[in-house]
Chain A
Amino acid sequence: MATQIFASMDTRGATAVTINTAPSFKRLEVKHETSYHYQSSVALGYSLAWLTPLSTKGQRLLEHRLNVLPKPRFQHESVDAFGNTQHYFEMHKAHSELRVQSYAIVESGPAPDVAALTMPWESQRPKGIGAAIGEPPPWEFIYSTVMAPLHTNYTEYARAIFTPGRALGEALLAFNHQLHIDFQYVPGSTQVDTPLEQVWENRAGVCQDFAHLAIAALRGLGLAVAYVSGYLLTYAREGEKKNVGADASHAWFAVWANEHGWIHLDPTNDKVVGDEHIVLAMGRDYDDTPPVKGVCFGGGLHHLRVGVTVNDISASISQNAQHQTQQQRQHIEQEFLQNMGQDIAQEMSQQQTQSDLMSAADDIES
């Protein structure tokens, strides 16, 4: 029973439940490209990326490929403090453009019946001893952080909805809805480092801001709340073809319910996270798991471009699903490369001259 109700909840720390591959699961494909165009050549670059979707109770990762261009000289994959897959890579050769392409297929389950969570919300404050060894304990998620600082304003905002003894599910849905109504979604109104205070005052922001606000407000009540980075499936307008890259990275929050694990809510869309969402990574706030971050020597000013496309490929899955997926993936990768063919050729010739200039000491492999 619980399996079905909480199908899209991550129950890391709670009882493990086998993944259901019932037809109600959507198969989603995501293409995510982050590119940096540098004003001047970059001699050395170091990056960390959190681009591998998590396998959670409500989501199964079927396939993931990370493609970095130009090819990194060193790459390493590991699991971070919060259980996310983290990629580290080094660029040693001079380059003027960096592309990080991520391709994933996940199976995503339907939204759980959050309204069925009738226990009083106070009972879900994390208990001192929570998670098993090796998993992030929920009390990592109860403290103020730089990007989600606690403030009485936010706490009071939540308290108006989280009245004493109110059922957790009901309160959460009401809170998610309230945020959606009170705060206007205005693309471009904030940057990653816009202080939360400003979002609060302007009553406007983007998905990240709403997630941080929810986190700060509910942590103020003593609940454990995580920041979730991910994607959302969008649909093309009737009669139109969906544009590649038109989607964006998305973010929302998840609340820890002791017996039920994480409950994901998307205030931007006033939704319970379900089969149209893809969970990428979870942390205390944005800074724990940005999709890509990095440090480079040289480069000067640079231009960042992000393109995300999420497609529902459930329909295309026949009996020979695995085979088709394979073909599809190859096709998509080809598409990627074709788009870039021209750029890369240019880039290569640039690289040649730049690398000639580099001192021998700069490349220990040669």
Chain B
Amino acid sequence: MANRADTLSEYQPLDFAYDEMVDAQGKAREHWRPLGDFLDSSTPQTLDTLKRETQRRLKEQGVYYNVYEDPAGKHRTWQLDPVPMLLSEQEWPKLEAGLQQRARLFSLLLQDLYGPQKALREGLIPHEVVLRHPEFLRPAMTPKNNKQPSTPLVLYAVDLARGPDGAWWVLSDRSQGPSGAGYVLEARAVTKRVLGQSVSAYSIAPYAQFFHHLKRHVSALAPDQQREPTIALLSSGIGNEVYFEHAYLAAQLGITLVQGDDLTVRHGNVYLRTVDDLRRVDVLIRRVDSSFCDPLSFRSDSMLGVPGLLQAQQLGRVGMANSLGSGVLECPALLPFLPALARAWLGEELLLPNVATWWCGHDKERKYVLAELDKLLIKRVDQPGKVIFGETLSRKELQNLTDAIKATPWAYVGQQHLSFSSVPTLAEGGLAPRQLVLRSFLAGDGEHYDVMPGGLSRVAGSAEVSVISGQSGGWSKDTWLLRSSGSMRDVLRLHPSGQRRLATAALTSRAAEHLFWAASYLERSESLLRLVTAYQKRYDTWLDYGFDSDAQVLRQCVPLLQLYVSSTLIGDVPPAPETLRRALLSNNVGSLAYNLHRGLEGIYTVRDLWPADNWRVIEELEELLTYAERNREIVAVDQMVQPLLNAMLAFWGATQESLALTQGGLWLHLGRRLERVQNMLLGISHLCRQLVVGEDSALTLETLLDAHGCIVSHRRRYGIELNFLTVWQHLLLEVTNPRSLLHQLEELESLLHYLNASPQFGLTEQEKIVLSVVTPLRLADAREWSQADTSRTLLARFLSELSGRLRQLGTDLDNHYFRHTQPFTQFAR
């Protein structure tokens, strides 16, 4: 035990900050010892593996952090450090009590600012701080004639840092739509899996209970004491930097992930557009900033909101966590006034101190800030996330900032530049200290708050930088609140058996639409890939033997390829597969890359529906595509096609197992079947028209079978016999061939039947359309098309006609089940 310090000698804490692991004497703190031992016994290789394993697992789960306007694409993998932050059991109660007190105070303040405004009238807070804050939204004031009790602050988060003295300080508050709780769950899952049994000495406080409480508090906001409220998480969608988190949290809580246009207000109630009808929403967990939430009352240029949402809140017909307007509490200029507020309203001293903050709206404070500008952090009250480090500014920049502060002093605060504590982090070349900010999460009802035991720790990307945010390249860590007793296992189950689920997630019309189209795009990619494979095979034969008959087949295939990718491939010489490659991987509409991207985008948009298994497969598909695109000049076509086809098959296999029909599987399969049928009808009728009477068509037919994956089954059935009759029978009419046209249609038929809500009243319009396509096929006789000329004419016409009828089905489904929100417009003024 005495040599503990020696074993950690490689780790050099920062000399100006408190180190979480190592004390002033260079010894590991008590609660860090087991982890210290593990780290110490690890070779650089082990640590490196640990790090890579963490990133791999995150990537597999599709944990992304979207970066706005990132030219590299929408996704960047979230960075997680496998070394957790450890909190000792001894210091927790004090921290917890401080956080709870702060939440109670903020809840009172929220209700007051949107109500009687005693804090302003009694001068506890300068009115300028509140009235000039852009998130103080007057339309959200509690109406005087309102009988509804005003909504408390339900969800709340605090960013904390530990100073050199070892005490925790509050840096800022999050009340708009505190984000990060979903990452916490993911961080826990990955960290525990990666570290495995290496640190089994620890007992860690589990998170599941907190999320249960969170859901309980949110549910309590439902109007009319609704027992099983419908809860939805309102997200701004795929463009948001933390969309993954929205999706993950919604999935974990078993609630519906929605965007503004999924919702509609009628009679002051909020409804969700599902594929069946409108479904009342009782509570919204709001992750869209208030001012973007209702274009009628707030920012009219926002496309993320729901007109009338504020009225619904004011009428008490929807619970809102947090209520519209809650963002005003994030104003950093409130900090200096909190101690007095706590004394006045709670009769208590503030338990958790704020980091020293000076509001420039007061003369004395402004003079101090201006005098110390090069030592302080400067924040604008309306941009609490944006920090200016005085020490990094040039003389000119300091002058500009001084002028700006003097021009609008109320808009600025100065904050003490605290040396945050450091925590060991796996950096390049081993363990290194990185400065830490801890985000704590709370959920409550205004009086009682539950604190997440632990939180989300975030560390700076490098030793020099103390700016910590996901966007500027920092890392996150799991946070372990250590318990002296209890089980080692932290079960992530949020719905332990025996505990009734509070609500069921509804499938939004938008989700159904995305699934339908994603499946269509993937299916289109798949049939294109199969066609390319068949083409390539034929091309190889032609290269080997040089028969003109093969060249003829290739020429006939080109128009089929052009059904997908528009390009000028026509010529006497069939284009080499390598020539096709560029067209396939181009960004043009209809290319393979285009279809796959659209499909993947749809899949990503309904991120909350996919279980981990699926995600791994989706990830692989995306990786293959990225690889092919990056190497579009050199990748061999067969090297690209087969792995992509395999990945797609794996995707379909996984969804079959995991996505129930009621949870969206239906729409996925509908999209896929309908697309496949259409591809077959169009492709085959197109090919028929290429046929030349008098020429031997056997090779063409063989390639056609190949392109539809039917060559082996055909051979098993007919041996070496291959002519129009056998091919049309097998490819179009044979019910026992799972890839035949008729079989696809029958699948479609049963899916549509499933969708029929009242079969006792007969068929739906959609079912009728399919029946009108299936019946002629069932009645058809392949002998009528047994020649090239009849195939060219009769069959081609027959298939085109069926295709036309099905086009109506697509339109019908779209009209009937998918959301049809037009963009809204403002009235002229």
Contacts and interface: CB of A to CB of B under 8 A. Distances in A.
A48 B297 contact: yes
Contacts of A193: 829
Interface in B539-562: none
Given A78-B143, A292-B827, A90 B295 contact: no
B116 A133 contact: yes
Interface in B232-271: 264-268, 271
Nearest to A43: B822
Size category of the binding interface on chain A: 35 or more
Nearest to B820: A359
B118 interface: yes
Contact of A36 (B311, B821, B828): B828
Given A90-B265, A134-B116, A290 B829 contact: yes
B120 A137 contact: yes
Which of B122, B265, B314, B824 gathers the greatest number of chain A CB atoms within 10 Å?
B824
Interface stretch (A167-175, A298-306, A346-354): A298-306
A44 B123 CA distance: 45
A81 B139 contact: yes
A88 interface: yes
A158 B142 CA distance: 36
Of residues A46, A143, A359, which shows the largest number of chain B Cβ atoms within 10 Å of its Cβ? A46
Contact of B278 (A80, A128, A361): A361
Interface string A24-66: 0000000000001000000110111000000000000000000
Contacts of A315: none
Given A80-B141, A288-B138, A360-B277, A295 B825 contact: yes
Interface in B306-320: 307-308, 311, 314-315
Nearest to A98: B827
B117 interface: yes
A137 B128 CA distance: 12
Nearest to B408: A144
A175 B277 CA distance: 60
A88 B266 CA distance: 12
Chain B interface: which size bin?
A: 35 or more
B122 to A, nearest CB: 8
A115 interface: no
Contact of B266 (A74, A294, A299): A74
A133 to B, nearest CB: 5
B308 A46 contact: yes
A73 interface: yes
Contact of A46 (B118, B144, B296): B296
Given A90-B308, A294-B296, A76 B829 contact: no
Contacts, number: 116
B127 interface: yes
A361 B273 contact: yes
Contacts of B823: 297
Interface string B168-202: 00000000000000000000000000000000000
B386 interface: no
Given A43-B822, A79-B144, A192 B829 contact: yes
A364 interface: yes
Contact of B127 (A76, A137, A292): A137
A345 interface: no
B829 A81 contact: no
A15 to B, nearest CB: 18
B392 to A, nearest CB: 31
B131 interface: yes
A364 B829 contact: no
A185 interface: no
A359 B821 CA distance: 12
Given A74-B266, A134-B144, A364-B271, A140 B131 contact: yes
B143 A361 contact: no
Given A80-B141, A133-B118, A361-B273, A74 B828 contact: no
A359 B813 CA distance: 12
Interface in B275-289: 276-278
Given A78-B145, A134-B144, A361-B273, A296 B278 contact: no
Contacts of A297: 821-824
A295 B815 CA distance: 23
A361 B264 CA distance: 11
Given A128-B127, A303-B828, 9 more contacts: A46-B265, A46-B308, A80-B139, A88-B268, A90-B266, A90-B268, A129-B121, A143-B128, A292-B827
27 contacts: A44-B307, A48-B297, A73-B266, A74-B267, A78-B143, A78-B145, A79-B143, A80-B141, A80-B143, A81-B141, A90-B308, A133-B117, A133-B118, A133-B121, A137-B117, A137-B120, A193-B829, A293-B827, A294-B826, A295-B827, A296-B825, A297-B823, A298-B822, A302-B825, A359-B815, A364-B271, A364-B278
Interface of A: 36, 43-44, 46-48, 73-74, 76, 78-82, 88, 90, 92, 128-129, 133-134, 137, 139-140, 143, 191-193, 288, 290, 292-300, 302-304, 359-361, 364
- What are the 7 closest A-B residue pairs judged by CB atoms, nearest first? A81-B138, A81-B141, A294-B827, A192-B829, A46-B307, A304-B828, A295-B307
